[in-house]
Amino acid sequence: MILLRRLLGDVLRRQRQRQGRTLREVSSSARVSLGYLSEVERGQKEASSELLAAICDALDLRMSELLREVSDELALAELAQSAASDTVSLPAGRGLADRPMLNPVRVPSVTHRPDDHVTIKAPSEAVDVVAA
C-alpha cells in the first residue's frame, strides 16, 4: 500500500537535506516541535495543511512544488506496484490464455530488490502534459 504521508515525508526530508539544514533549524523556523517534524519526515504522522504550509515556508519551498514532487513519486510508485503485481505467479492449472488482458505499460527499467521494493527509472526525455 502506498502511503501519502510517507511520500510527503520523504520529499520534505530530501528538500531539507538538499539545503544542508538540520531538523532543529527547520523545526525552529517552522515553529514545530523537532520530534513532530521528525515523525512527519519518517511518514509516521499525517501533517495538516497548516503544518505543511509552515514547513514549506521554513524551507522556502512552494507547496505546489512539494505536491508536484510528491505526485511524481506517487505516479512512479503506482507504476511499480502495478508492474510488481503483473509478475505474480498464476495458480496451478491456469494458463496465460485464462488471464485477463491488461493494457500494456512501457516501463524503461524495473529492478526488483530483495526487500520487495521496485525501482523504476523514469525516461530521460521530456513529457508534454496537455490540460483537457
- Inter-residue contact 47 to 40 (CB < 8 Å): yes
Strands (E), 8-128: 110-112, 118-120
- Give 91's strand partners: none
Largest CA distance in the chain: 61
Listed in sequence order, the residues at least 6 apart from 34 whose beta carbon sits closer than 8 Å to its beta carbon are: 23, 24, 27
Q: What share of the chain is helix, strand, coil (3-state, %, to 5)?
A: 50, 5, 45
Q: For the whole model, what pTM was predicted?
A: 0.64
pLDDT tens per residue, range 74-107: 999 999 888 887 654 445 554 445 545 444 445 4
